[in-house]
Chains A and B, each alone.
Chain A
Amino acid sequence: MGTYISLIIGCILVNNFVLTQILGICPFLGVSKSTKTALGMGGAVIFVMTIAGLVTACLNQFLLIPFKVTYLSTIVFILVIAGLVQILEILLQVISKPLYEALGIYLPLITTNCAVLGAALLCAKGEFSLLKSTVYCCASAVGFAFALVLFSSLRERLELARPPKALRGLPLTLITAGLLAMAFMGFSGLGN
């Protein structure tokens, strides 16, 4: 139990996917203009990444490792994640229309979110068990959502500021992202 708690805290704060491992940067910069869209994207990523983590761990454990073809993990995982997102989209439309509409365009966009593939590959590389992989992916996705929401609220504040003309827009966004990443480095001494 204790190992899982330290794993979760480690994934959210210490080894945050966006700010420490530099994965999933495009949605981090792309959909962080408002907290509302950041929450939508964060929710969708948590949803997809947890399920993708479980499915890819199953594939790795029962297909790739027994046949000694673990080098196929990248291509198989891409295939599986892309298909999974499609299936989830169709199912979600039927099961929960409000959730589907809330996630909107972010759900299909996750297909190309490298954080999802990155988490699956890291699980395979670390030879995690099924439960550990699922917890790891879920916690990493929570960390991603956490960083996204933090960053979007910073950007919302920056909208009101009057920075020098040369810094307006993307330059300031990148500088803010760098500062936030530096702040997260303060956690690096915590646990493993």
Chain B
Amino acid sequence: MNTFLVIFAIIAGVGLLIGLAIAIISRCFSTPLDPLANDLLALLPGANCGGCGYPGCAGYAAALAAKKAKPGACAAQKPEALEAMSKRLGTAVEARDPRVAVVMCSGDDLHATRQAFYNGINNCRDAMLVAGGAKTCTYGCLGLGACARACPFGAIEINEHHIAVVHKELCRGCGKCVQTCPKKLIRLVPKSAPIHVHCSNPLKGAVKLKACKAACIGCGKCVKTAPENLRMDSGVSLAKINYANPPAEEVSAVCPTHALRK
């Protein structure tokens, strides 16, 4: 009983002393928070995605308050919050081109074949270690949802045919998923671009078509229809969109495999 009391007294006493010391010291010495940074923090989305290049929303707010950063670096911020922030800082509102993530692959279960059954850990990065994943096309979406779990806004869904789909209306263009995808299939593109080439495989068309019926086979029809807006590099059977001047939605009608689509 006596020993128990001693133990209790020592641990509780030491804890209490340290707690008191911390409380007193933080009361006496703590530096008050910058009120400007606090106001700015309230205007940020608070997802701490890190897309702005600062460590979380608080880091960006501190940099803004110290005039080391400009408003507008946050891709996830709503336009009205940006306006309020610019007003608070006394700077002009700068227009920015919103961007969204797009998964550059069409190889869902209806179109792409599998080289093996993958029965391992339900994560793209782990599946990648086993011969590059289960898809025959080694450039295809594995559909295990590493990007969906990384998305702070819940904008990516793995649909019923096991492929990642970005919901444009929810995507805020932070770029978290871009870093997560082990196949490097996700790109940030201007939200205004209506259609994209949903294929990332640079191999020859015939080879791709065996593995995936929805691949871009490099036929060049779209490039001929809209040479200003699309191009194809020599040796790579993959049409590329010129995002500075994206093609109109109608151009997608010429694509035989529907890799060029919304």
Contacts and interface: CB of A to CB of B under 8 A. Distances in A.
Contacts of B21: 83, 87
B11 A91 contact: no
B22 A90 contact: yes
Interface residues of A, number: 18
Given A94-B29, A94-B31, A86 B10 contact: no
B7 A69 contact: yes
Nearest to B21: A87
B19 interface: yes
A63 B10 CA distance: 8
Interface centre among A86, A90, A91, A94 (most CB of B within 10 A): A90
Interface string B22-58: 1001100111000000000000000000000000000
Judged by DSSP, the binding face of A is helix
A147 to B, nearest CB: 27
Given A79-B18, A86-B22, A90-B22, A72 B29 contact: no
B22 A72 contact: no
Nearest to A105: B55
A58 to B, nearest CB: 12
A80 B26 contact: no
B31 A67 contact: no
A127 to B, nearest CB: 19
A72 B11 contact: yes
A83 B19 contact: yes
Contacts of A86: 22
B31 A69 contact: no
A79 B26 contact: no
Describe B's contact surface by its main secondary structure.
helix
Contact of A91 (B6, B15, B18, B25): B25
Interface in A35-69: 59, 63-64, 67, 69
Given A72-B10, A80-B14, 5 more contacts: A69-B6, A76-B14, A79-B15, A83-B21, A87-B18
Given A67-B6, A69-B10, A75-B11, A83 B22 contact: yes
A59 B22 contact: no
A93 interface: yes
A69 B11 CA distance: 11
Contacts of A84: 18
A72 B18 contact: no
B32 to A, nearest CB: 12
A91 B31 CA distance: 10
Closest 8 CB pairs of A and B: A83-B18, A94-B29, A90-B26, A86-B22, A90-B25, A67-B6, A87-B25, A90-B29
A90 B11 contact: no
Contacts of A94: 29, 31
A93 B6 CA distance: 36
Interface string A144-187: 00000000000000000000000000000000000000000000
A90 to B, nearest CB: 5
B10 A90 contact: no
A67 B10 contact: yes
Contacts of B10: 63-64, 67, 69, 72, 76
